[in-house]
């Protein structure tokens, strides 16, 4: 199971952005130093009491578009209900209860998701004069905070964490390959899924070891078991056109969290957009396998170098995922779609691959001989020993003499040597640097 997702909802002006910023200030970012990773405030990674979760901001409601306000609010709440494990429902403790709070509350109550009712703007130690009114919403005890002053935030996060689903909760068996098909609206996600499912694959109604979500689509090619995660939203053509880009990014988040491999579908005519970067960044940060699928290739007029030029621009725009293979397909003509499943299987294996410690240390030893580690003030970096501590994604612990001496560029060099020797195509690689004291060897 992926990291839990927490969504913040509430009517305009209750302080959602202020709240989000306050929490985002505490964010931990695993790949923070990596250049090119697009940071956007749609989501932030948070750690509280050893629990990691993703906080999503369902976004502001545009005050200009008058008639649309109720619909937008409704959509925002729906989105939170669809994607989040815990919902923080923010209301204004100074202004008191108003009718749009009731509307949102009705939707949230019906969702069966854990909802925390949070009175914001309670800037003093005293209880809000409206405190008891909020019980009427039927969501339980209100929690008082001041996002502006940072009061009550810790207690609130304690409550949030308590409501997370059991981390031991069963998902699919280890060897079921979980695939998220992600991308902007209209790039051809459903068409690709349908084509893949159409080709001799058997959709299975039940699959070993699952408490599975009805919106997933498990299938098998006779050899391996797969599941397209969270595809209901894709198959069920939504009536409400999701104009707001943010919505489709958020929709992708929970699917990515649960996936082993993400297929990022890009429209060949449009090329890589900002939104694609956000989604790819999310896959990368969450350590998922990634395949970049350029769809609608039939619409492109080809000259000698068209494909290479396209690859070049994708590599530039998505520089931090250069490990991801790029495939050019057409869901319309079926071109190269038969290769997709093999690619998925391949990347899933790379993502779960473990290399022997002996071979790993040989590669690193050689790497250090070929290209001396950096030094500073007469002290040179030493890597004493390395071991692969985890898979999905492959994670290496490097025991070194001094963390300060490990530069990004050298880490990158080590990563490249590991990739050259072992592959790991399609998966990010993580490093943990550990100082080994008394470390001469
Ligand atoms: N006194 C006080 N003011 C607050 C607090 N939190 C937010 N505000 C103020 O409330 C106003 C609205 O805050 P935002 O964070 O923009 O509210 P929002 O819910 O994101 O609003 P939309 O983007 O319109 O949905 C701003 O003027 C904030 O400064 C608080 O804890 N105490
Ligand atoms: N020419 C061409 N059209 C395609 C291709 N793949 C999909 N389309 C068309 O693009 C449109 C969108 O395809 P969908 O599969 O519905 O896209 P989607 O990404 O699932 O869209 P949303 O449900 O809005 O997220 C449809 O009209 C498809 O027929 C392709 O490879 N070539």
pLDDT digits (tens, 9 = 90+) for 345-360: 999 999 999 999 999 9
pLDDT beyond 70 at 28 = no
- Residue 310: count of CB within 10 angstroms of its CB: 20
Which segment of 41-55, 260-274, 347-361 scores lowest on mean pLDDT?
41-55
pLDDT beyond 90 at 222 = no
pLDDT beyond 50 at 43 = yes
Q: For a substitution probing ligand 2, which of 242, 328, 331, 335 has the most ligand atoms within 8 Å of its CB?
A: 331
pLDDT at 68: 44
Cα 352 from Cα 202, distance rounded (Å): 25
127: closest CA among 139, 140, 115, 145? 145
- Ligand 2 in reach of 234 Cβ (< 6 A): yes
**Of the spans 8-17, 99-108, 239-248, 280-289, which averages the highest pLDDT?**
280-289
293 three-state secondary structure: strand
pLDDT beyond 60 at 242 = no
> Per the structure block, which two tokens stand in for 115?
């909802």
Q: Maximum distance among all alpha carbons in the chain?
A: 72
Q: How far is the CA of 128 from the centre of ligand 1 (A)?
A: 16
126 three-state secondary structure: coil
For residue 267, what are the contacts with CB-CB under 8 A and spacing of at least 6?
Answer: 183, 184, 186, 187, 188, 295, 296
Same CATH fold assignment for domains 5-162 and 177-351: yes
pLDDT at 60: 56
pLDDT at 49: 83
- 368 alpha carbon, distance to own chain's centre: 34
399: closest CA among 432, 361, 434? 434
144 three-state secondary structure: strand
Cα 331 from Cα 196, distance rounded (Å): 9
Q: Looking at domain 5-162, does it have CATH number 3.40.50.300?
A: yes
Q: Looking at domain 357-435, does it have CATH number 3.30.300.20?
A: yes
Q: Looking at domain 177-351, does it have CATH number 3.40.50.300?
A: yes
Q: For a substitution probing ligand 1, which of 18, 20, 61, 144 has the most ligand atoms within 8 Å of its CB?
A: 18
Segments making up each domain of the chain, as ranges: 5-162, 177-351, 357-435
Q: How far is the CA of 341 from the centre of ligand 1 (A)?
A: 47
pLDDT at 294: 97
Closest ligand by atom to 266 CA:
2
Closest ligand by atom to 62 CA:
1
pLDDT at 266: 96
Quick: pLDDT tens for 321-346: 999 999 999 999 989 998 999 999 99
- Residue 277: count of CB within 10 angstroms of its CB: 20
Cα 389 from Cα 397, distance rounded (Å): 6
pLDDT at 253: 84
Q: How far is the CA of 120 from the centre of ligand 1 (A)?
A: 9
Cα 415 from Cα 430, distance rounded (Å): 9
Closest ligand by atom to 270 CA:
2
Q: Taking the model in full, what pTM does it have?
A: 0.77
Which segment of 8-22, 294-308, 398-412 scores lowest on mean pLDDT?
8-22
Higher-pLDDT residue of 169, 180 = 180
> Is 15 annotated as a binding-site member?
yes
> What ipTM does this complex have?
0.74
Exposure string over 159-172, b if 16+ CB within 10 A, otherwise e? ebbeebeeeeeebb
pLDDT at 200: 55
Cα 388 from Cα 399, distance rounded (Å): 11
Quick: pLDDT tens for 384-410: 999 999 999 999 999 999 999 999 999
Residue 194 host element (H or E): helix 189-198
> Per the structure block, which two tokens stand in for 82?
């669809």
């Amino acid at each position: 199971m992926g990291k839990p997702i927490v969504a913040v909802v509430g009517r305009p002006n209750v302080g959602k952005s202020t709240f989000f910023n306050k929490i985002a200030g505490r964010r931990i970012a695993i790949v923070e130093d990596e250049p090119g990773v697009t940071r956007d405030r749609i989501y932030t990674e948070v750690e509280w009491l050893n629990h990691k979760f993703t906080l999503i901001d369902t976004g502001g409601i545009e005050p200009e578009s008058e008639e649309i306000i109720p619909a937008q609010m409704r959509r925002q709440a729906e989105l939170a209900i669809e994607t989040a494990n815990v919902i923080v429902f923010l209301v204004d403790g100074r202004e008191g209860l108003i009718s749009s709070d009731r509307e949102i509350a009705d939707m949230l109550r019906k969702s069966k998701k854990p909802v925390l009712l949070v009175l914001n703007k309670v800037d003093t130690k005293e209880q809000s004069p409206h405190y008891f009114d909020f019980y009427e919403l039927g969501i339980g005890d209100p929690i008082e905070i001041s996002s502006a002053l940072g009061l009550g935030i810790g207690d609130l996060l304690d409550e949030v964490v308590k409501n997370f689903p059991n981390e031991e909760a069963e998902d699919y068996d280890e060897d079921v390959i979980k695939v998220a098909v992600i991308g902007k609206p209209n790039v051809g996600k459903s068409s690709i899924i349908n084509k893949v499912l159409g080709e001799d694959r058997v959709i299975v109604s039940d699959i070993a070891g699952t408490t599975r979500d009805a919106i997933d689509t498990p299938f098998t090619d006779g050899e391996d078991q797969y599941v397209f995660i969270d595809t209901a939203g894709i198959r069920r053509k939504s009536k409400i056109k999701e104009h707001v880009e943010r919505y489709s990014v958020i929709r992708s988040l929970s699917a990515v969290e649960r996936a082993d491999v993400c297929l990022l579908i890009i429209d060949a005519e449009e090329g890589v957009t900002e939104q694609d970067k956000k989604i790819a960044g999310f896959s990368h940060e969450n350590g998922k396998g990634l395949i970049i699928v350029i769809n609608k290739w039939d619409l492109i007029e080809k000259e000698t170098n068209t494909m290479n030029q396209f690859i070049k621009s994708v590599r530039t725009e998505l520089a931090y995922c250069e490990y991801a293979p790029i495939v050019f397909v057409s869901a319309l003509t079926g071109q190269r779609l038969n290769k997709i499943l093999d690619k998925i299987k391949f990347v899933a294996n790379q993502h779960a691959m473990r290399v022997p410690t002996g071979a790993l240390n040989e590669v690193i030893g050689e790497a250090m001989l070929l290209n001396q580690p950096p030094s500073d003030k007469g002290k040179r970096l030493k890597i004493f020993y390395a071991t692969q501590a985890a898979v999905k994604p492959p994670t290496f612990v490097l025991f070194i003499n001094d963390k300060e001496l490990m530069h990004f560029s050298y880490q990158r060099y080590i990563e490249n040597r590991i990739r050259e020797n072992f592959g790991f195509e399609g998966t990010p690689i993580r490093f943990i640097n550990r100082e080994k004291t008394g470390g001469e060897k």
